[in-house]
Structure 1
Amino acid sequence: MDANLSRGEAPAGGSAYAPAFLDALVGAGLLVPTGVQGLYGRSAVFEAVGDGLNGAITALGADQLAEVLRFPPAMGQRDFETSEYLQSFPQLAGTIHSFCGDERGHRRLLARLQDGEDWTDQQQPSGVVLTPAACYPIYPVMARRGPLPEAGKVVDVLSYCFRHEPSLEPTRMQLFRQREYVCLGSPERIVAFRQLWMERGQQLARALQLPLEVDVANDPFFGRGGKIVADSQREQKLKFELLIPVNDGAPPTACMSFNYHMDHFGALWDIRQADGGVAHTGCVGFGIERLVLALLRHHGLDPARWPSGVRATLGSA
């Protein structure tokens, strides 16, 4: 139960949709292929739009009095294990391994490289895992601080995140940015927070003149057991997504998500409310790359020619 933006999932092995939009983005120099599906460089123009989006999101959340935290796109293995991400999404996780051997091991590694053989078994876990969702690093931090303030807590967090989902869909990147506001506190506080941001998310999308719909959703839990969890998540309406058409011939893509985790993370990390009760949590997640791509899809590949209202919202009028 995290800030996964799940709609528009690609089938195993890649995308079923023609990559015409991807070809156009690459041809315009907005995305730079690396030879790996879902791993791209970004141009200055692409980054400028992303910066404008982040500015608009900051303005939208100015009244939240949020603590701003920024983490690298990795977290400790122990905290990752505590999150139970592997129990729910093993197919998406990415771990960082490094060479830890001696000179003999290094010679063995070099020999395998020279012979074109697999060398990855010469590496060992580093104790560091790629961050799967921007909110994950904040929960152990909040737990170590002790009980939350009486009114709860809001945190503004931004991070590159990793999901192992190779695809030709430009919206399904393996490394991408999530901007989140995360709320910790009482159930009532979280429900009100999520409703507020569902309204504000739609407000932002309309200011950007993007077609949208909001629908109940579920995270991509793994396996047959995961389907039961996903069905329960939908039945309880714990997750909603703001969907925008982006990919060629594909269902609309989740560009924002609005999540109520109940006491899941509070119980895992023993995060306490001021009265000693287990904290509930919720978050709103903005997919920065997906929103940039939605703007490029609907307004054209040259932001200088976008409608004045859209440019004003992005601070580029």
Structure 2
Amino acid sequence: MNPMTDTAATAAANAAAGTSTAPGFRDELLAAGLLIDTGENGLYGRSQIFEDVVDRLNVAITHLGADQQPEVLRFPPAMRRTDFEDSEYLKSFPNLAGTIHSFCGNDMGHQRLLRALDDATSESDGDRSDAWMAQQKPTRVVLTPAACYPIYPVIARRGALPADGRTIDVLSYCFRHEPSLDPGRMQMFRQREYVRLGNAEQVMAFRQMWIERGSLLVTLLHLPVDVDLANDPFFGRGGKIVADSQRAQALKFELLIPVADPRGKTACLSFNYHMEHFGAIWKIACADGSVAHTGCVGFGMERITLALFRHHGLDVNRWPDDVRALLWGDTEARVAHGLQDMHAAQRTGAGA
């Protein structure tokens, strides 16, 4: 049975109690038409204005990493099921995974499906049976959980890495099954990532560089910067042990910005060091034959966009002049100037 959406449930509870709630950030975004309600929590359409901001953020991120001369790869939001199985994602996040099923039966199976579908569509949304899905079978593809996942088997098939490793620029829609009324926690969202493959020193230097550059971008956008040690939301009782180990080894940092969650801040960028995890799974080797280390910086494109609307208002024409100049002006020059200032400050600090 499909449960009533959180929105409908809240509205029904308020009506029964004779109370109402003040409109939150999500309501403001929907009322302004920046997000479009699909009736499913965490699944939204985006307006032209929202997409324009995302596109211009992508341009800024491209200029921010251009000097790294990354290889640009783009994949659809699905990956081979066998690669997904090999990734060990299900060991840590089985509750977030999304598989793709399809009808693979005969005429009789089709008739059973149609009868079950007729029964389902005769009911209201909240009471519908999912019996028709008994005729569905898993396909050979699954929804991509993180933008970097499809690249590791691709790189592995090329053989050993060059001596200076590889840097990959990847962008993809991703899926995670965690329906929520928080617009910063979407089920389908975009990740822009720079991924580094090489030895431990190369990957650690890459991560530190992107902590600095990610913080610079957010500063140029006039958003608050707060980088903190973090851990992934590992599943189950054993997940706490894994999460504690991840924090103890300082493998993950996040850049946090207040967006819509009244209880805290939202991770809008993440800086991850995977050690040899993916290198060992897919047998990715460095030039000297050792197992490759990997790391990545992930930009949550919707989350950064939401942060901009939250802190600068829903009318992009009234955003701060510097932010508008960065996104709608000479983006390349402004990013380059920001990098120069950052490097100058670092040299001054090192010489102090």
Equivalent in 167, 171, 180 of residue 193 of structure 2: 180
Runs of at least 5 residues in structure 2 that lack an aligned partner in the other structure:
11-20, 121-128, 331-352
> So what's the TM-score if we normalise by structure 2?
0.85
Pairwise mapping of residues 6-155 of structure 1 onto structure 2 (< 5 A)?
20-116=24-120, 117=129, 118-155=131-168
The alignment covers a number of residue pairs equal to 305
User: How far apart in 2 are the matches of 1:47 and 1:205?
Assistant: 18
Equivalent position SS for 2:39: coil
The question of 1:224 aligning with 2:237 is answered yes
Deviations 1:150-176 (A, max 9, x none): 100000000000000000000000000
Partner of residue 278, structure 1: 291
Matched to 1:68, the amino acid is V
User: How far apart in 2 are the matches of 1:19 and 1:166?
Assistant: 19
Percent identity among equivalent residues? Answer: 68
User: How far apart in 2 are the matches of 1:18 and 1:111?
Assistant: 43
User: How far apart in 2 are the matches of 1:291 and 1:19?
Assistant: 21
Aligned-pair CA distance for 1:114: 1.1
| Structure 2 CA distance for partners of 1:18 and 1:198, relative to 1, 3 Å | farther
Partner of residue 264, structure 1: 277
Q: Given that residues 241 and 256 in structure 1 are in contact (C-alpha distance below 8 angstroms), is that contact kept between their aligned partners in structure 2?
A: yes
Equivalent in 293, 303, 306 of residue 316 of structure 2: 303
| Structure 2 CA distance for partners of 1:287 and 1:18, relative to 1, 3 Å | farther
| Structure 2 CA distance for partners of 1:248 and 1:232, relative to 1, 3 Å | closer
Say what the alpha-carbon RMSD is for the aligned residues.
1.6
Higher relative contact order (CA 8 A, sep 6+): 1
Structure 1 runs of 4+ aligned residues shifted over 3 Å read: 13-19
User: How far apart in 2 are the matches of 1:316 and 1:46?
Assistant: 17
User: How far apart in 1 are the matches of 2:118 and 2:301?
Assistant: 40
Deviations 1:128-183 (A, max 9, x none): 10000000000000000000011000000000000000000000000000000000
Matched to 1:20, the amino acid is G
Q: Given that residues 210 and 295 in structure 1 are in contact (C-alpha distance below 8 angstroms), is that contact kept between their aligned partners in structure 2?
A: yes
Equivalent position SS for 2:40: coil
Equivalent position SS for 1:61: helix
Q: Given that residues 157 and 180 in structure 1 are in contact (C-alpha distance below 8 angstroms), is that contact kept between their aligned partners in structure 2?
A: yes
* Greater share of helix: 2
Aligned-pair CA distance for 1:250: 2.5
Equivalent in 203, 207, 231 of residue 190 of structure 1: 203
Equivalent in 148, 158, 163 of residue 176 of structure 2: 163
Runs of at least 5 residues in structure 1 that lack an aligned partner in the other structure:
1-12
Q: Given that residues 18 and 248 in structure 1 are in contact (C-alpha distance below 8 angstroms), is that contact kept between their aligned partners in structure 2?
A: no
User: How far apart in 2 are the matches of 1:302 and 1:315?
Assistant: 14
Aligned-pair CA distance for 1:315: 2.8
Partner of residue 254, structure 2: 241
User: How far apart in 1 are the matches of 2:281 and 2:326?
Assistant: 39
User: How far apart in 1 are the matches of 2:193 and 2:219?
Assistant: 19
User: How far apart in 1 are the matches of 2:155 and 2:177?
Assistant: 28
Matched to 1:126, the amino acid is T
> So what's the TM-score if we normalise by structure 1?
0.94
The question of 1:314 aligning with 2:327 is answered yes
Matched to 2:245, the amino acid is S
Partner of residue 6, structure 1: none
Q: Given that residues 19 and 169 in structure 1 are in contact (C-alpha distance below 8 angstroms), is that contact kept between their aligned partners in structure 2?
A: no
